[in-house]
Amino acid sequence: MPKIVFIKKLIRENKDYEALFSHLPLIKAKKIVKTILLIKILIKLIVFNCPSNKIML
pTM: 0.40
pLDDT at 17: 62
pLDDT at 54: 55
pLDDT at 15: 61
State the 10-residue block means of pLDDT for the chain, 57 residues long: 66 62 69 84 74 55
pLDDT at 44: 79
Contacts for 8-16: CB closer than 8 Å, 24+ residues apart: 11/36
pLDDT at 32: 80
Alpha helices in 1-57 (DSSP H): 2-13, 17-20, 26-49, 51-56
Break the chain into its structural domains and give their ranges: 2-56
